[in-house]
Each structure stands twice: as structure tokens, then as C-alpha cells.
DNA sequence: GTCTATAAGAGGATAGAC
DNA sequence: GTCTATCCTCTTATAGAC
């Protein structure tokens, strides 16, 4: 077995701490408003040391997004392990997870507009690979759920996939939270409901 | 009647051109990536001239948002004029309008994270007044639609309102457009459908 | 690999002539 | 009110000692 040396362990722990800080800041203020100085201060090291670990601000964000996808895939694995669960229930668990992460301030978000970051992500092999893995596995569940009659078969699967992904950056939960009238659990329930059932009444002619 | 002097007319036309450019850039790259240099270049005047009309970058964005709300209220007026239309149909026309504006690249968006911009908007009397007017009028339609049985009465009205507002910055249309498999009209129809009917099949036990 | 110090440049805002 | 030229702050990134 390959045992990590002490130095390598320290390195990994430090990089984990960096990614955790980046994750927090990305969730809090987004990529453009996050500064590398803040990241360094948050981790408690000098900025120049940060650049020994990651070559650019974009690389920092990419590392955080990779960690997010790794966690998403771990959750998908757990859901797959449960036998006898309907595909739609698994998908609803995924959208719920995204909503809970976002409401808890743990969901890093990157603007799809920023071109430098976008270019870096599209060139990041690991990121793209994990994203495709997640999309493939969710896509299979979507097709299954449509065959089960649990998702509208008239909807293109990619629309369903994007709609679930979009829960990660839905502004509605934050607005409801700012209103102060609901608990986090209630907000998740309400937004989840509008996502899957829509705004119209449950049953109608 | 108060007739505008020639000078005042020229001023107004120029400011309209500035706001149009800001609107375009906000829709294209967002507030943080929009630079005042770009705005000036787009309008075709010097940056210093821009600052004679608007005191800050935040004020530029606020002016664009005010114009957006004025147009939204004008549309709401038109919808009100149609007698005999159900409240839910009016609301669906609003969400459709937001989707079409966004797909057409005409919807300015401001990040809810940016604190300097947020502060400026919350201190902008005209902006807040128009936003409240729009919310009040849409809110009345929402309550009416719930009474009509056309919107789930179990949903808090503010959830419905925010969900409609969120169509203005929904990332799903752009993703579908990037895929290239659908026309703009089809995308509007699909996203509109998931918004109002959800992902589940239309009728179920 | 960590630090201090600094380069390099972008971008918001302004001075002052016309 | 418009221009050119400039200021100044913030931020990314790096040099070089230890």
C-alpha cells in the first residue's frame, strides 16, 4: 500500500483547508468579489504561499468546484445503494440536497458569465470528467423516472437535468430567508414543491 | 404645458442612449464585469462625460434597473386593460415576458451579493417605489388566482411572486440555448411549463 | 514552502482646458 | 458638457530571502 509521508499529509491537510476557505468565500460573495488576499487571510497563510499550491485564482475556484462534484457523486453513490427506491425519489433527494447546501451557505457558485473562469473550467479535465459522470448518472435516473410515469415524458431530459442543477443557484430560497417568515426546513419544502409540482394546484381538470 | 428646451431634449436622448448601453452590458456580462470604460466606448463619449450624467457605476446600474421596472409596469398596465382575463393568465404572461427578455439578451441582471450595488439600490427611492408598485399589483393577481383555484392556495404569495421574478435570471434558458437543440420559442415554452406545472406529469393520483 | 515586499495592471473617479 | 490626461486604490501575481 502507498503510505503518504508526513510531509505529504501536511500538504494535503493544508490544501484541504485552502479549498474549504475558497468554498466558503465562493458561497458567500461569489468569484468576482472574492479576493485572493481574503482566501490567504482566512487560511492563515501568506498570499505567496497560496500561489505555491494553486497557480491562479481561477484554479482555486476550479478546485472548489471539483470538491463539490466529488461530494455530489458520493451522494449519488449513496442513493444508488438504496435498493427499491424510485428514480424520481432519488432525483428529488438530489434537488433537496442542492437546496439545503445553498441555504446553509455551503454551495459555491461560479458565474457562467465570467470568461476567464469559464475557460479554465472548460479546460479542466477532472472537473469536466466529474461533471459528465454526474450528468450521466442523473440522466439515467431521469429517463427511468419518465418511464415510470413519475416525470412528465414530454419534457426533454436535459431540461429536467438543468432544472435540478439550477436549484444550486436559485435566488428564491435566499429571498424567503430574508423575509424571515419561514424556517430553513420550510423554505426547502416550499421551493422543492414548486420545482416538482409547479405553481398550479396539485390536481385539476 | 411644459415644453422641453432643445438642450434638455438632447440631454434626455443622450441619457437614454447611456442607459440602453448599460442595459445591454448588464444583460451581457453582469455588473461586476461591466466596466465604465466599456459603457463610455459603447455610447461613443468620454468616460468623464459619463460621470457628468451619473455619479457612479452603481448609479448607472440603478438607472438601468429603474428603466426595466418602468417597462414592467407598462406591461402590467396593458395586461390590466384586458377585461375578462384570468389572473393566472396575466401572471403567466409576466413570467413569459421575463423569459423572452432574458433569452433575447435584454434583461439586465444585478448580483444580489454585491454589497455596494445592493446598498445603492436599497437607498434609491424611485427604484424601491417602482419595485413595490410592481410587487403590489402582481401580489393582488396572485391572491386572486389562488381564490380562482388556478394557483396552489397552499403556497405563500411571496413564494409565487419570487418564483415569477426568478424567471428573469433563470440559468436554464441559456443552457438550453447553448445546447442548440431548441428554438427560442420552444425554450420559453418548456421553461414556462416547468415553472407552472413542475417536472411531474400533468395528471396523477 | 513560508514569509515580506513589490511589481504590474486594471478600473473607478477626477482635474482642468475648452 | 465634452474632451484628454491623470490620479489612486484595489487586486492579481511574483521576486527573493530564509
Question: What is the rounded distance in angstroms from the CA atom of residue B64 to the CA atom of residue B81?
Answer: 26
Q: How many residues does chain A have?
A: 205
Per residue in A28-85, pLDDT tens?
A: 999 999 999 999 999 999 999 999 999 999 999 999 999 999 999 999 999 999 999 9
- Reduced 3-state DSSP string for chain B: CCCCCHHHHHHHHHHHHHHHHHHHHHHHHHHHHCCHHHHHHHHCCCHHHHHHHCCCHHHHHHHHHHHHHHHHHHHHHHHHHCCCCCHHHHHHHHHHHHHHHHHCCCCCCCCCCCHHHHHHHHCCHHHHHHHHHHHHHHHHHHHHHHHHCCCCCCCCHHHHHHHHHHHHHCCHHHHHHHHCCCCHHHHHHHHHHHHHHCCCCCCCC
Residue ranges per structural domain of chain A: 61-197
Mean pLDDT, range B139-154, rounded to an integer: 98
Are B91 and B145 a contacting pair, CB within 8 Å? Answer: yes
Q: Which residue is nearest to nucleotide C4 (CA to C1')?
A: A46
Per residue in A32-44, pLDDT tens?
A: 999 999 999 999 9
CATH for B61-197 (1.10.1060, 1.10.357, 1.10.10, 1.10.3470) = 1.10.357
- The dihedrals phi and psi of A139, each to the nearest 5 degrees, come to -60, -40
B176 touches chain A (CB under 8 A): yes
Residue B54's nearest nucleotide, by CA–C1', is C13
pLDDT value, residue A5 = 85
pLDDT value, residue A2 = 64
Chain B residues close to A88, C-beta within 8 Å: 200
Mean pLDDT, range B86-98, rounded to an integer: 98
> Does pLDDT of B139 surpass 80?
yes
pLDDT value, residue A195 = 98
Chain B residues close to A167, C-beta within 8 Å: none
Q: Which residue is nearest to nucleotide C11 (CA to C1')?
A: B35
pLDDT value, residue A204 = 54
**pTM (predicted TM-score):** 0.96
Amino acid at each position: 500500500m502507498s503510505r503518504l509521508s508526513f510531509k505529504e499529509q501536511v500538504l494535503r491537510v493544508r490544501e484541504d483547508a485552502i479549498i474549504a476557505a475558497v468554498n466558503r468565500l465562493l458561497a458567500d460573495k461569489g468569484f468576482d468579489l472574492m479576493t485572493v488576499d481574503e482566501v490567504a487571510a482566512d487560511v492563515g497563510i501568506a498570499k505567496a504561499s497560496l500561489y505555491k499550491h494553486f497557480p491562479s485564482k481561477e484554479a482555486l475556484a476550479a478546485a472548489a468546484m471539483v470538491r463539490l462534484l466529488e461530494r455530489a457523486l458520493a451522494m449519488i453513490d449513496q442513493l444508488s445503494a438504496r435498493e427499491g427506491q424510485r428514480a424520481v425519489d432519488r432525483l428529488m433527494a438530489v434537488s433537496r440536497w442542492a437546496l439545503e447546501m445553498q441555504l446553509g451557505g455551503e454551495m459555491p457558485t461560479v458565474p457562467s458569465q465570467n470568461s476567464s473562469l469559464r475557460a479554465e473550467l472548460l479546460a479542466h479535465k477532472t472537473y469536466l470528467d466529474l461533471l459528465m459522470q454526474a450528468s450521466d448518472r442523473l440522466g439515467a435516473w431521469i429517463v427511468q423516472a419518465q418511464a415510470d410515469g413519475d416525470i412528465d415524458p414530454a419534457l426533454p431530459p436535459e431540461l429536467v437535468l438543468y432544472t435540478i442543477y439550477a436549484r444550486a443557484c436559485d435566488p428564491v430560497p435566499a429571498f424567503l430567508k430574508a423575509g424571515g417568515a419561514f424556517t430553513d426546513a420550510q423554505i426547502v419544502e416550499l421551493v422543492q414543491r414548486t420545482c416538482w409540482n409547479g405553481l398550479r394546484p396539485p390536481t385539476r381538470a
